[in-house]
Structure 1
Amino acid sequence: MSAHDAVPVSLAEIARIAGVGRAAVSNWRRRHDSFPTRIGGTDVSPQFSLAEVEQWLRDNGKLKDIGGRELLWPRFEALGSRNESGLAIAEAARRMRSPQQPTAHPELSAQAHDLATEAAKVGREEGPRETFEFLLQRWLETHVRQLSTTPPQLAALMARMALAVRLGPAQERLTLLDPACGTGHLAAAAVQEYDSPGLEVLACERDPALAALTAGRLDFLAEDRDIRTRIATADTLRDDPFASAQADIALCNPPFNERDWGYEELATDQRWTHGLPPRTEPELAWVQHLLSHLKPGGAAVVVLPPAVASRKAGRRIRGSLLRTGALRAVVSLPAASAQPHSVSLQLWILRAAPDGPAAAHPGQDALLVDATRFARSGTREPSPDWGGLDSFVLTAMATLDQLDQEPPKGAVRVPLLDLLDDEVDVTPGRYTAAAAEPSREQLSDKWDAFGSMLSDMADHAQRLSTLGFEAGTPQTTATVGDLVKAGALTLRAGQQPLESAATACGGALPLLTVADLLHDGAPSGMVPSGSAPAIAEEGDVVVAGVARAFKAWVHEGPPMALGPQLYILRVDSEKMGAHFLAGCLRAPANGRQAGTHASSSSRVDIRRLQVLQLPPEKQTVYAEAFRRLHAFEELLTTADSSGKGLVSEMSDRLAAGGLTT
C-alpha cells in the first residue's frame, strides 16, 4: 500500500471532500455495501483510506463538482509535523508561481516534496492563489491552538488606522514593517488596504514555516502590483534583520508575556530611548523597537494585553512615551477580538515626531478610546461587532489631531497632567466612564422618551386586554409542511456561505445568522448575492429554527441572506397573510411542540409548526392583534433596557452630589 493509500480520513473530512453534510456520509455508509471499510479510529470516530474513499465517490458520481484541492488537504495533514506541512504548503505556493525553480526547501522530506509538486499542479489547474489560500486556511484551522493569528477584520482595521494617523507628504513608495509577522495577516491587510502604487513590505518571523507561508501569501498579493517584499527569518529583538530600515507605517501583534526576550544581552541597546524595558515588560520592548524604525511622522499600531497600560513596572516608560508624544492613542477592544479571546486587548497607536514644525500635535494630551461595548455578547461563540467597531474607531482616529472636533461618545482626550500621576494608567475605561456622564438636559430628554414609551405600552395594554376568546372546540390547524405541499407556502433554508464568498465584496447582501439574533438582531456579515441560497425579500416570513433563538417575523427591509438554521416562508397572498402566519408561528407553545429535544440548543422542525386554518377575512383581525402584541413585546424589551440605564445614570449623579431639588 502506498503512502497515498494509507492517508486516513474521518467522516467529517469525507463530507468536506464531497461537499455534503456528515449525516449524508453516514447514510451512504449504511445504505451502500460497497462503501470503504474502516481502517482505523474508533466506532464513534472511524477512519477510512483516502484513496478508497476517492475511488468510491468517483464511482458513485459524488465528485462531479469537487476540485482536486479538497483531496489534497488530508495528505498534507498526514505529514504529521506542523512545520513540515507548513513548509510543504509554502513550497507548493512557490512552485505554482515559479514552476521552473525545482529546488525544494532542505527541511522537506521526499514525501512532502512530492506532495508540494502535486499541489502545485492542482493549483495551476484550479487557480494558484485560491488553492494556496485553501490549504493555508485548513492548516491554520488544524493548528489553531499552537498559533496566534490576527483576525482579518482586526488586521484591516489596524492597517487603516496606521495609514490615517501617519503624517507626512505623499511619496512614490511607502514602507511597511511587521517585525513579528506570523503567517502575514497584518502585512496582507496593509497590502490590500493601500491602493496607491508603490509599497515595500519588510516582515520578520523567527519560525521558518510561518515566514515561508508569509512569503507565499505576499507573493500572490504582489502579482500585477508595484510591491516589493523582504521576508526574514530571525529573532527580531535579538538579531534585527532590518536594523537600518525606516518605515512609514508599522503593524505588530507581538508574542505576549515572554520572559526570555533578551533582557540581559540587550540591556545597553540603543533602541531603549524611553528606558530599559523591565524583564517582565517585553511588550514595551516591542513598542520601542517599532518607534526606532519609524520615519519622522511615521505611525505604528500594535496589539497589546491590557495589563501593559497599568502595570507598575512599566510606568516610567509609559510616562516618557506620553511626554514625548510618541503614544498618541490607546483603544480598548472588545473581548474575542484576537487571541487570547477571553481578554479585552488594546491597540496602542504610536507616532514618531515629524521633521520641523509640521502639523503634529505637541503631545499635550492622548486620545483614549473604549470600544469594549462592541462585543457581541450572548452568543455561543462571542465575537466583536466588526462593522460598528471599525466605524467607531476610525471616527475617533479622525479627531486625533483635530482639536476643534469632539471625539465620539466612548472616546476622550485626556490632558497629560491627568495621566502623569503616580500610576500613569492609560486604560481607556478609567477615563471614558467619567466623560460619559450625562448632562441634566440629556437626563431630562431620556425621562421624556421613557414616559412616551410607557404611554404607548399603556395604549397597547388597554386594547389587548379587551380581546375576548370563545370557549369550546379548538380551531382547526395545519402544519407548515402541509401548507407547503398545498402550495400556500414555499420554504427555503439558509446555509453557511463559503469563507471565500463571505469575505468577498461587490454585489453583496447583508447576512443574518442565529448568532446575530442572540446579540441585537442586526446582520453582521456580508455575502455576494450569487452565493446565497436563501434570500429574504420584503414580505417574506423569516423563522429561526433553534430553540434558544426561536422567533418568526415578517421581513420588511431590503433583501437579506440567511445563514444556517434560518428559514424563509414565502406566502401566497391569496390564501394567507404574512403577518397572520408570523403571529401563529412565533407562539412559544408552537415552538416547544415542534422542538426536536427538550434543551435550549435543540432544533425546531419548521415543518411541524402549526398554523390556524381561517378564511382571509378573519385572518386580518388576527393579524392586527398579532401586530399589536408584537409591538407591545418590543416596547417591553426597550423599556427594560432604557429603565435600567436611567437607574444607573441617576444613581451615579446622585452619588456625586449636587442635588438641587
Structure 2
Amino acid sequence: MASQLNSGSDLGFEADLFKAADKLRGNLEPSEYKHVALGLIFLKYISEAFSAHYKKLGEEEYADQEDPEEYLAANVFWVPPEARWEHLQANAKRPQINFTDVNTGKERVGDIGNLIDNAMDSIERANAAVLKDVLPKEYGRPQLDKTMLGELIDLFSKVGMHSADGKSKDLLGRAYEYFISQFAGAEGRRGGEFFTPRSVVQTIVEMLEPHHGRVYDPACGSGGMFVQSERFIENHQGRRSDIAIYGQERNHTTWKLCKMNLAVRGIDADIKWNNEGSFLSDAFPTLKFDYAMANPPFNISDWWQPQLEGDVRWKYGQPPAGNANFAWLQHIIHHLAPRGTAGVVLANGSMSSQQSGEGDIRKAMIEGDVVDCMVALPGQLFYSTQIPACLWFLARDKSANGHRDRRGEILFIDARNLGHMVDRTRREFSTSDIATIANIYHCWRAKPDAGLGAYQDIPGFCKSATLEEVRKHGHVLTPGRYVGAEDAEDDGVPFAERFAALTATLEDQFNESDRLTALIREKLSMVRYDV
C-alpha cells in the first residue's frame, strides 16, 4: 500500500487512500467523518511542506530554522513543534498524553484527540491571517474513537504528499479533492451542495481561459472553481500571481473547507463568509471582476427579502421571490468589469421558463446582448441533484475584448450526448469532451487570423444563431431548438415524447369522463319521484 500510494504518477492513489481511510470510520456518518479525515490530511500536508523547508534552511549558512518569518517568506505555513506531524505520529497510539494547552499555557493530560485539537489551535494562532477560525477542532470529543484516529494518522504517515524534486505539490491537492468528491457522493444532496464536479468546472475554466485579472465566485462552496483556475494557469505556463481570487460563501462549514482547500495548494484568496449570503450582504459591493465562475444553488425559493426591492443589480428586471436563478445571473453581470466574462451553472428551466417574469428578464438580457453562449449538459453530472443543468456564458462586451465582434449572435452547444458513466449513477466529461466543447467556443469567438480554424455549425451539436432567430423562438435559449436536436425541458424528457404521453393521458381522462357521465345519466333515469 505505502509504495503504491507514494507514487505521484499513479493516478489511482487517491482512490486507494480513500478506500483505506473509509474502512476506519466505523459508525461515523460521512458528514462527520469528512471533517475528521480532511483535517488530518491538511495537517499532514502543511507539516510535510514545513519539514521540507526546514531541511532546506538547515543547509543554508545563515538561516534560522525556527524563525517563522523564514517560512512566511517562502509561502510555507509555520508549524509550531507541538503541531508537527512527527509529534502526532509518535503519540498516536498512547492512551494518555501530557501536553501544554496553547490556549491556557497550562499542562494537561489528554488523548490523541486532545493533542490534535491543540495542534489545530496552535497552527491557527501561528497563521492567523489565513487560518483563523478555519480548522476543525472536535477531535477530543468523547464520541470519537481514538483508536480510529491513531490508525488514520498511521495511514496518512505512509503517504508522501511531496515529491523529492518539490514539484508535485498537488499530490495532497489531488487526494483532498478526491476525498471531497467521495464525501459528496456518500452524502448525496447535502454533500453535493459544496462540490461542483471537476469535469464541469474544467469545462467552464477551459472556455473562459482566466489567464489574468480578478476571478470571482459569489457561491464558492469548497473552492473548486478557484483550484481549476490556478491549475489552468500552471498548465499554460502562466503565473499564479497574474490572477487575484475573490469568493463568498454563506455556509460557515463549507467556507472552512474552501479556506483549507485553497491553503493546501498555496492559493492566496480573499474568501468572505457571512450567514446572509451574496444577495443580502454583498462582500464586494464595489469591486468588478474580469471573470466570474459559479455553480449557485439551483432554484432556491427562500432568498428574497423586502430590502432587495429595486436593487441596483436588477438591471434586466426584478427576479421573482420564488426563484433566485435570475438573481444570480444579474448579480454576476453587475460584478463584471467592462470586458468581463462569466460562466454559470444553472438548472435547465432558466433557459425557457416564463413563470413570474423570468421570460421577460431573459428577453431583456438577450436584447441587452450579454448572453454569449449556452451549453446544454447531460444528466447525472452532479452529486446533489438529477435536475438537468446548463451553462450560461455571459459577456459584458461582445464587440471585441481580444476576440471578433459577436454582437447580435449567440452560440448554442448541445452536449447532452457527451460524457461517460463512471459508476451506476454519475456521468463525467472526458478530457476530449471538454476540449471539443471549448474548441468550438474558441473557434466561434476568435478573430479569423487567430489560427484556430474556421467555425462551422454542426447539425445536432452546435449552432451560431442571430438575435433575430432567437426572437423567433420567443427568447428561449434551449440549445436543442437551434442545433436541430430534440428539444428537452426541465426533466430531460424530449418534448415530442412528453407531448405524446400527455395526449394519451388526456384521451384516457376524456374517455373516463364520458363513462362517468353516461353512468350518472343512467342512475338519474332510474330515480322515481313520489308526488
What is the TM-score with the length of structure 2 in the denominator? 0.59
The one of 319, 322, 331 equivalent to 1:277 is 319
Which residue in the other structure is 1:177 paired with?
Answer: 216
Whole-angstrom CA distance in 1 between matches of 2:39 and 2:386: 35
Per the TM alignment, residue 290 of structure 1 is displaced from its structure 2 partner at its CA by 1.2
**Residues in 1 aligned to 2:178 and 2:463: alpha-carbon distance in whole angstroms:** 42
1:293 aligned to which of 335, 346, 357: 335
Superposed, which structure 2 residues align to 1:555-566 within 5 Å? none
Correspondence list, 1:132-143, <5 A: 132-133=176-177, 135-143=179-187
1:407 maps onto 2:451 in alignment: no
Deviating more after overlay: 393-402 vs 374-383: 374-383
**Matches of 2:180 and 2:220 in 1, distance apart?**
15
Partner of 2:281 in structure 1? Answer: 239
Residue 645 of structure 1 is matched in structure 2 by: none
Given that residues 457 and 464 in structure 2 are in contact (C-alpha distance below 8 angstroms), is that contact kept between their aligned partners in structure 1? no
Deviation readout 1:373-393 (Å, 9 max, x if unpaired): 325589955635534532331
Alpha-carbon distance in structure 1 between the residues aligned to 2:178 and 2:406? 47
CA shift for structure 1 position 91: 3.7
Q: How does 1:604-623 map onto structure 2 within 5 Å?
A: none
Given candidates 425, 433, 447, the residue that maps to 2:484 is 433
Conserved 8 A contact 1:302-1:347: yes
AA aligned opposite 1:109: E
For 1:356-505, list aligned pairs within 5 A.
Answer: 361=405, 363-374=407-418, 376=420, 381=425, 383=427, 386-402=430-446, 405-409=454-458, 410-420=461-471, 423-433=474-484
RMSD: 3.8
Q: Residues 565-599 of structure 1, C-alpha deviation per residue, up to 9 Å, x if partnerless?
A: xxxxxxxxxxxxxxxxxxxxxxxxxxxxxxxxxxx
Structure 2 match to 1:153: 199
TM-superposition CA deviations, 1:65-115 (whole Å, max 9, x none): x99986654555645482x54444454355331432735459743536978
Tell whether the 8 Å contact from 2:378 to 2:417 is kept in structure 1 after alignment: yes
Q: Is the 8 A contact 1:86 1:209 kept in 2?
A: no
- The alignment partner of 1:265 has SS state of helix
- Distance in 2 (CA, whole Å) between partners of 1:123 and 1:354 is 50
Counterpart CA distance in 2 for 1:369 and 1:327 is 13
Distance 1:175 1:119, change over 3 A: farther
Q: CA deviation at 1:212?
A: 1.6
Matched, 1:109 2:138: yes
Alpha-carbon distance between aligned partners in 2 of 1:219 and 1:174, rounded to the nearest angstrom? 20
Q: Distance in 1 between matches of 2:282 and 2:294?
A: 15
Give the match for residue 233 of structure 2. Answer: 194
Match status 1:336 vs 2:375: no
Whichever residue aligns with residue 159 of structure 1, its letter is: V
Q: Distance in 2 between matches of 1:340 and 1:85?
A: 19
Superposed, 1:506-655 pairs within 5 Å as: none
Deviation at 1:406, TM superposition (A): 3.5
- Unaligned regions of 5+ residues in structure 2, if any? 5-14, 47-76, 84-118, 122-132, 162-170, 449-453, 488-531
Letter in 1 for 2:271: I
- Residues in 2 aligned to 1:68 and 1:434: alpha-carbon distance in whole angstroms: 43
Distance 1:434 1:337, change over 3 A: closer
| Residues 74-93 of structure 1: pairs in structure 2 closer than 5 A | 78-80=27-29, 82=31, 84-93=32-41
SS of the residue 2:299 aligns to? coil
State the AA in 2 paired with 1:407: Q
**Counterpart residue type for residue 200 of structure 2:** L
Paired AA for residue 279 in structure 1: A
Distance in structure 2 (CA, Å) of the matches to 1:384 and 1:416: 32
The alignment of Structure 1 onto Structure 2 pairs a total of residues equal to 362
- Pair 1:72–1:344, CA change in 2 (3 A): closer
Structure 1 residues 186, 116: CA separation in 2 closer, same or farther (over 3 Å shift)? farther
8 Å CA contact retained: 1:89, 1:132: no
Partner of 1:229: 269
Partner residue, 1:528: none
What is aligned with 1:162? Answer: 208
Q: Deviations over 1:103-141 (max 9, x none)?
A: 545974353697889867864662355364564354334
Q: Please report how far the alpha carbon of residue 343 of structure 1 lies from its aligned counterpart in structure 2 after TM superposition.
A: 4.0
- Ranked by relative contact order (alpha carbons within 8 Å, sequence separation 6 or more), the top structure is 2
**Equivalent pair of 2:215/2:246 in contact (CA under 8 Å):** yes
The residue matched to 2:268 in structure 1 has which SS?
Answer: strand
